[in-house]
Amino acid sequence: VITGNSMTNGNSFGGGIFSNGVLTVIDSTISGNSLNAAGQNTGCGLSNFGTLVQLINTTVSGNTCNGAGENRGGGLATGSGVMRLINSTVVGNQAGGGSSTTRGGGIFVEGGAALVAALSAIRPAVRRIPTVVALLRPAFRRSCSATA
């Protein structure tokens, strides 16, 4: 369980976890983390700038970005590589604050990054997605809620 962490200075990335490589999180909860910096706040639960992040049987909830600057990805944010959500839930996260460039209350995906979701629930919807990799089997497609 990664919970109750916060950052308030400068530009903040990864309130609960910051990954700059390969990361797999299994049977875990990432919740109650916050970024409240005056600058950029990215990935209040988890921020990825590496090659691969996998969340398996994991819940990401109750994370918040509420700084005065740009707030992106209340639950999760990925700026590069691939983020895979397998049988995971992203719910009740928030990206708010005073900035007009707030994006992705649940998940923010930027640049050439990709999101792959299988048997996962995502609320609120994913924002600003250049690439969402479709699920391979129709049964999985019905179980994933992601919109661009």
Per-residue pLDDT of 97-131, as tens digits, reads 766 677 888 888 887 788 888 877 776 544 444 33
The yes-or-no verdict on residue 30 having pLDDT over 70 is: yes
Please give the backbone phi and psi of residue 141, each rounded to the nearest 5 degrees, phi first.
-60, -40
pLDDT of residue 70: 84
CB 130 within 8 A of CB 109: yes
pLDDT of residue 123: 66
CB 44 within 8 A of CB 66: no
Q: Is the dihedral of CA 86, 126, 116, 24 positive or negative?
A: negative
Q: What percent of the chain has pLDDT over 70?
A: 80
Residues in the chain: 148
| Gyration radius of the chain over CA positions | 14
